Structure 1
Amino acid sequence: MTPVYLPAQAQDFEALLALRIRAMRPSLARIGRFDPERARARFRDSFHPAATCKIMLGDVCAGFYALRALPDSLELDHLYIEPDQQGCGLGAAVLAHVFAHADAIGLPVHVGALRDSDSNRFYRRHGFVQSGESEWDIHYARPPAVVQANSTSG
């Protein structure tokens, strides 16, 4: 099934928070950092409905992403897929959608991933290159694809 991307609304906060917690809990618990109140506060501080899209499979919200436009790049603030939908190609489809937009406007995409999270392998596999680190996260960048014009010689 092909995903459909719908704009998030402010009233989606609780449902998207719950989805984010389901997706992140194993990684956070593995490093001893799972705290539901901290998860709520961090998401509340970074939730911008205008930059957020729900990933719909039929009438089911299978995940969401948030993509913020900065002056010289796009920031993928969130990309969370329901655990039972992970490993099925949905995340790759979402990245292809994001990359098509980034490439069309010639901007790189930046993302951060929790250290020791499986998402690090996912982002590297899809063309992101490590660009930095912080205490808890690894930061990645993916340059825009270079589109070459067709030329004919004759």
Structure 2
Amino acid sequence: MSSSEIQICPVDESDLEALVELRIKAMQPSLEAVGRFDRLRARERFVSNFVACDTQKVIRDQKLLGFYVLQLKSDHLWLDHLYIDPAYQGSGLGEQLLDKLKQQARAVNWPLRLGALKESRANRFYLKNDFVQIETQQWDNIYQWTDSANSN
């Protein structure tokens, strides 16, 4: 593997602070846009629900570029978090990760679901990547991707 390729690696407790900081950096613009940014709350919310075994970090040349949290539910995969460092947003990295996550969902023949803050640019990203909005909640839109080849 060349040093310029991304690596997807498991995390452990020692990664927590770096993940928190990346999440805050990635979410701050969207939360500020809706008047809901609170650094302490954003930190506490992530830390209180952190499960290392569900979390994968994305690194290149030993630099953290992003991470995701994928949970196995009773009838679907739930993408609880997907964050890309703002410096790497728009580079295709998010689509590359979504493709890998779709492959995982396809392998078990389950839909892939996620939530996105209503006012976030992430909504446009997920729609562009073949997700369909299936629900609206107070703060979030819920999306689902289903493999069309396996939906018959």
Is the TM-score greater than 0.5? yes
Q: How many residues align?
A: 148
Task: Please give the per-residue CA displacement for 1:97-152, whole angstroms capped at 9, x wherever unaligned.
Answer: 101111011110000000110000000100110010111111001113425xxxxx
Two-structure CA RMSD over aligned residues (Å): 1.3
Q: Does 1:104 align with 2:107?
A: yes
- Give the gaps of 5 or more residues in structure 2: none
Is the CA contact (8 Å cut-off) linking 1:110 and 1:139 kept in structure 2? Answer: yes
Task: Please give the per-residue CA displacement for 1:17-65, whole angstroms capped at 9, x wherever unaligned.
Answer: 0000000000000110000111012101221110000011221110000
In structure 2, what is the equivalent of residue 79 of structure 1? 82
Is the partner of 2:22 in helix, strand or coil?
Answer: helix
How does the TM-score come out when normalised to structure 2? 0.93
In structure 2, what is the equivalent of residue 41 of structure 1? 44
Rg bigger for which structure? 1
Is the partner of 2:99 in helix, strand or coil?
Answer: helix
- Give the gaps of 5 or more residues in structure 1: 148-154
In structure 2, what is the equivalent of residue 132 of structure 1? 135
Q: Is the deviation greater in 42-51 or in 138-147?
A: 138-147
Equivalences for residues 1-154 of structure 1 within 5 A:
1-146=4-149
Is the CA contact (8 Å cut-off) linking 1:109 and 1:143 kept in structure 2? Answer: yes
- Aligned-partner Cα distance in 2 for 1:118–1:37: 23
- Aligned-partner Cα distance in 1 for 2:27–2:97: 18
Amino acid aligned to 1:43: F
How does the TM-score come out when normalised to structure 1? 0.92
Amino acid aligned to 1:48: V
- Aligned-partner Cα distance in 1 for 2:50–2:136: 23
- Aligned-partner Cα distance in 2 for 1:144–1:109: 9
